[in-house]
Copies of this chain bind each other. A is one copy, B any other.
Amino acid sequence: MNSSKEMMNSILILLLCVLLSFTSHASSITRQNFCKADLNRPNTPSGYHCLPSDTVTAADFKYSFNGKPGIPLPSKTLAFPATVRQLPILNGLGISVSLGEIEEGGFVPVHDHDADEIVMVLKGQLDVGILTPLKSYCNTLIPGDNMVVPKGLLHYLINSGPGKAVFLAPFSNPNPVFRYLYEELFASDVPSRILSQVSFLDELQVRKNKARFNGTG
């Protein structure tokens, strides 16, 4: 029975050679396993337009943090994002990642983002604190430790050890928006008197911080 099956398979080989040219052509038209962003066209609520999938190569799936300059963040921190802007193949997916380096004594100030995050420490020691109304959740992390930061919750990271701290931070969003509290409060143009009132901060404090962060108003 096996040999007859082998024979049938042999016949199939011939048949398939003919069929596959059709198959390949016909089905490759509709195939879309990924959607590389065309960053030169306007965005939509679901992400960027897709570039033609046959122009995508292996290199499009790869991104290296090595040799990148890093974006300086206060304080003593460099961020190396790998989001849809740097890695357009992430468009339409549910993930992105950033590498962070915090010098000794540095920290990432209070912020949140529209994405769940896991802080994964690679080097040094980090104190990560989540601020929720009335209660905070703070942990000290060493290499091998991780901390979950749910979407929308304010949190901070402090290099609490000697030497540089390095961490990876994946996000549940290909294009997360980072909202630093000091930028929202003090680097903007909301009038100091108003801001003082609605934040319960002294107006002197507000003016001082606005000066520090180039705010106006």
Contact = CB atoms under 8 A, between A and B. Distances in A.
Interface residues of A, number: 146
A173 to B, nearest CB: 8
A122 interface: yes
A180 B198 CA distance: 10
Copies of this subunit: 6
Nearest to A2: B203
Contacts of A116: 93-95
A8 B16 CA distance: 34
19 contacts: A5-B193, A15-B76, A17-B214, A19-B73, A20-B214, A34-B150, A42-B49, A45-B92, A58-B138, A61-B147, A64-B144, A65-B144, A87-B148, A109-B198, A131-B184, A136-B217, A152-B177, A168-B168, A200-B212
Given A94-B115, A95-B95, A200-B209, 5 more contacts: A22-B71, A62-B141, A74-B200, A93-B172, A99-B144
